[in-house]
Structure 1
Amino acid sequence: MITLENLSKTFRSTSGSVVALDDVTFDVQAGVIAGVVGPAGAGKSTLARVLSLRERPDSGVFRLDGRNTSALDERSLRVARSRIGVVPSGDSLLGQRTAAGNIALPLEQAGMDGPQRRERVGKVLDLIGMTDKAATYPAELSPGQRQRVAVARALIGDPAVVLADDPTASLDADGAAGVLAVLDRARAELGATVLVATQDASVVRRIADDVAVLENGRLLEAGRLLDLVRDQESTVAKAVLPAIDGPVPDGYAGVADVVLVGFAAVGSLLPEAASRFGTDISVTGGGVTKIGETPVARFRLALLGAGAEAALGWLAERGGAVHRHPVPRPRAA
C-alpha cells in the first residue's frame, strides 16, 4: 500500500521558487492500477520521482507498506528501491542491446547468473507478447514495441510497485493499447500495484481503478474512478464521460442528466422506469463509454407524463446519479 501524507516539493530556479507538489495526500491500495492525471506542469513527474525514491520531498511523508521512506537508512532505501519498477518517459532503451538484452540489464547489474537471467527474461517477453522479438534491436522495433520492452525491463525484478511516467505519450492508438494491456497484465498476473502518470484522461478510463487529479502541484480530487464519475461536476467525470452538448430542452415534465454504471443499469433501468411509471423517456444527449470493462452511460433525459418525477427518483434509488434541470413553467395567458 502507498500512502502520501501532506507531500510538498519546491524547486529553485533562476526566476524564483517553483512549487511542484503542494500538500498532496492520498492512498493507493495494493494490487490496483492508479492513474495520476493532469496537464503539463501539474507535478506528475515530480510525484513519480518521489515515489521511485529518487527524489525526497521537502515535507510530508511517503509510506510504502506502512514504512516512512524518509526514515530509511541507506541499506533499507536500496531494498525499498528494488521493490519499485520504473518505466521512464520517452525512449529509454539502449540501442546497442537487443530487446532481451535491455530487459536483462537490471539482472546483470544485480549479479544474477546467465541461466536464471534467460529464464526470467523469457517469461517477461512472453508476458509482453514479444517472444519473437528477443533478438531484435530497438531501431527495428515500433515505438509501441520499444515502450513494451521498457515496461518489461521495469518488471524483470518482480517489483511490488510499477511507476510509469506518461507511458503512452507520442504512441499511435495500437501502440498505446499494447502498452496499457501489458500494464494491466502486470497487475493481474504479477500482482503489482501500478501507478500511471499521464496527461491523457482516456488512459485512466481504460485501465485505472483509482485516480488522482493534479493541477499546479495541488490535488484536486482522488478516489475510486467509478465513484468519482457519479459526480457529474467532478473533474474526472467531465474528462472521461461522454459530453452532453446543446441547451436543456423545454416542453417536458422533467429533464435530467443521469449517470448509470454497469451492464444491468445501462441496459434495463430506463425502459423499466418508463414502463413502471407510465412515462415517456427520451434520450436527447450523451452516450455510453467503458471504464475498464464496465459500461458507463451519461444521458440527458427528457420525460413526459405525470410520473416523470417519480421515475427520476426511482432511478436515483437504484444507483443512478441524477442531476435535475429546472423545467420552465408555462407562461400565463
Structure 2
Amino acid sequence: MPTLFDPVEMGLLMLANRILMAPLTRGRATKEAVPTPVMAEYYAQRAEAGLIISEATGISRIGLGWPYAPGLWNEAQVEGWKPVVNAVHEAGGRIVAQLWHMGRVVHPSVGGGHPVSSSATTAPPYAHTYEGKQPYVEARALTRDEIKSTLSDYANAARNAIRAGFDGVQIHGANGYLVDQFLRDGTNLRGDEYGGPVENRLRFMREVVDAVSSEAGIGRTGIRLSPNGEVQGCNDSDNHGLFTAAAAELERLGVPWLELREPGPQSTFRATDDAAVSPSIRKVFKGKLVLNSDYDGTSAQAKLDQGIADAISFGRPFIANPDLVDRMRAGAALNRWDVATFYTQGREGYADYPTLGEQEAA
C-alpha cells in the first residue's frame, strides 16, 4: 500500500505526496474580495503539500458572506490571485481554487443582497459580519432562471481560476453551503425538477460540475462533500443513501477526485455521531478519495492502508506548521495554532509560524 509520502495522480494533477492542505478560510483579502500580498507568502510557505486547496473563494458577490474572504468573479480578483499562484509554483507546489457559493449562509450586509438558496429557509443561528454577529435572514428560493445565472457564475469563476494560473478547481459542495442546500432534504423543499427524490436533488450538483468542468476541464475538477452529520442546520433524512448516490453520480460524470469532510464523535469541529459514509462511497466512486477531519500521521496512514483513502487533507495542522510534510516525515512535534488569529487581518498568526529548521536554529 502507498504511504503518505508517495506520489499520486488525481486526474491531470500529478502530486508529489498524499498530504493535502485542506481549504481554510483565513480572512486576509480586502473588503472587495481581492487577494493581498501576504496571502502569497502564506501559501508559498506551505507549498510542500502534495496539493494546496485554496481557502473558499466566492463565485459572486451575493454568494460570498464571509468578511475579508477572496473572490474570483472579476478582473481585479484574477490579478490579485496571480502572484499568489505564482509564488506557490515557484516554491514547487500545486494549488487549486475552491469555488464557493454560501447560499442561505450569507448576511445581506456582507453579500450585498438578499440571500438565496434552494428553498426559503433560514440558517442557524448567527452570521459573522463586519459589524459582528447578526441573525441570519430567511433566504429566497432561486428561480429556474436564477439557477441558470448561478451556473454561469460557477463557470465564470472556473474560467477565472485557470486564467489566474491555478492547477485546477474544487467545487465546495460541503458544510451546509449552496450545493449542500440543494442536496439535502432538510433544506431543499422544492417541488420542481431540483427537489423531491434524490435523483432530482442531485441535479444542481451535476449541473455545477458540468459548468465548472466546461471551463477547467473534468481532469482538473474536484469536489468536496460532507456526508455525515448536520452542519449549519443542513441535514438529510438519509445522509448515507444520499451521499452514496451523489458519489455514484460523480463517478458517472468522470470527476477524478472527491474530498470528504467526515468528522466523528470526538472531532474538535462539528462533531457527529453519524456513521462514516466513506466505506460505502469507496465502493461506488473509483476516482481518488481524499478524507479530512482530525487526522494525524498514524490515523491518516491507516486509512491508506485500509484502502479507503488515497490521500488525506489536513486543515488546522497546516495553519501552524508550514512545513507539515517535513514534520510528519521526521515524526517531529507540531506547533499549536492560535484560534484568536484565525480570521484577523495581517501577518500575525498567519505567515509567522516557524518551521522546524527555524526553531532548531533559534
TM range (shorter): 0.3 to 0.5
Choose 1 or 2 for highest CA Rg. 1
Q: Which structure is higher in strand share?
A: 1
TM score, norm. by length of structure 2:
0.33
